[in-house]
Structures are given as C-alpha cells and as structure tokens.
C-alpha cells in the first residue's frame, strides 16, 4: 500500500465528518511533520482531529517526522504556513507516493516539485468509487456544513457528475 504525507487540513476535516479512517484504508502509513502534529494534536486539543490523530499515531499508522532540509522549509514558508512547508519538504525528501493538501497555494507549489497530490475531495471521491461511502454528495455537504470546508461550486458539481450524483 502507498505511503502519504499529510497537511493539517485533510486530517482535521476528515475527522470532523468522522471519515479519518478512510486514510487507513487507502494508505499503509500517513507521515505528518512536527508542525502538523502540533497544529492538529497539541494546539487543536479538544477540536476535531486531535484525539483521532493521536490515537492513529498510537496505533502505528500515523508517524511524526521532521524534515531535514531547514533551508527548503524556510524557502517554502515565504508562501505557505509552517505545516504546509514542512509537509512539502518531507514529501520532497522522502519521495512518498502522494501528499495530501487542500490549500490551493500549497497544491500549486507541490506541482513545482512534481509531487503527486490529492486532497480531501479526492479522498472522498475515491471512497465513493470504491464503495467505501454511499453518497459523495452527503459527505461533501457534511464537509461544508459541519466542518466549514469551502468547496468551489464548479468543483462540487463536477465531482458529483463524475459519480452520477448531480444535484
């Protein structure tokens, strides 16, 4: 199974809708940087994702790692927050199968480094296509309403069309 590196957003928002376990089904291991761990588990204590990510680390399928290239992290922090910068630096160093990113600027920079990427919508779409969830529309609506996750309307409609769930 593939190994992924994740930013905070994917973990927090999947946990907010009770779907963090999808990552366990699709990836052998999820690697998070220290900054992502701190944002989700330490600073995020009591919020969606904190307990779930901590338990996943204890179960051994989430691993915390520190990028070695501090110069690359500093360079990336010109345009990104620390968690995204560290996640991309780790992905460059480790050459993992995929990086999980949702923020558009982080995704753009991942493309510069030729990093395979997906985000929460891609994960939910994959879950629908593999029969892991019944309704993509229901999950996207929960993501919008319960997690406050912004989805462009054209993207929302496009992924629903791909699964035959047009609204």
Within a domain: residue 18?
A: yes
Q: What percent of the chain has pLDDT over 90?
A: 90
Q: Distance between CA 113 and CA 75 in Å, rounded? A: 13
Are 99 and 116 spatial neighbours (Cβ–Cβ below 8 Å)?
A: yes
CATH of the domain at 63: 3.40.50.1010
Helix (H, G, I), strand (E, B) or coil at 157: helix
Structural domain contains residue 166: no
pTM, two decimals, is: 0.93
* Predicted local confidence at residue 167, as pLDDT: 60
- Average pLDDT on 14-27 reads 94
Buried b / exposed e across 78-90, counting CB within 10 Å, b at 16+?
eebbbbbbbbbbb
Residue 134 lies in a domain: no
Answer yes or no: are the C-beta atoms of 84 and 103 closer than 8 Å: yes
pLDDT of 112 strictly over 80: yes
Domain assignment present for residue 130? The answer is no
Q: How many domains does the chain have?
A: 1
Mean pLDDT computed over 71-100: 95
pLDDT band per the 50, 70, 90 thresholds, residue 1: confident
Q: Could you tell me which of 26, 28, 21 has the C-alpha nearest to residue 130? A: 26
Question: Is 116 a domain residue?
Answer: yes
Does residue 23 sit within a domain?
A: yes
Q: Which domain holds residue 19?
A: 3-120
pLDDT tens digits for range 44-60: 999 888 999 999 999 99
Q: Is the residue at 95 inside a domain?
A: yes
């Amino acid at each position: 199974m593939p190994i992924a590196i994740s930013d905070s957003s994917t973990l927090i928002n999947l946990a907010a809708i009770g779907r963090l376990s999808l990552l366990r089904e699709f990836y052998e291991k999820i690697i998070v940087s220290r900054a992502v761990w701190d944002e989700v588990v330490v600073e995020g204590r009591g919020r969606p994702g904190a307990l779930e990510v901590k338990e996943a680390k204890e179960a051994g399928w989430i691993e915390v790692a520190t990028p070695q290239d501090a110069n690359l992290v500093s360079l990336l922090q010109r345009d990104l927050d620390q968690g995204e910068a560290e996640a991309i630096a780790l992905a460059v160093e480790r050459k993992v199968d995929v990086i999980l990113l949702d923020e558009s600027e982080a995704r753009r920079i991942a493309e510069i480094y030729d990093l395979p990427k997906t985000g929460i919508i891609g994960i939910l779409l994959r879950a629908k296509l593999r029969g892991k969830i019944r309704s993509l529309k229901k999950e996207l609506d929960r993501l919008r309403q319960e997690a406050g996750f912004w989805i462009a309307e054209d993207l929302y409609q496009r992924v629903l069309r791909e699964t035959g769930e047009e609204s």
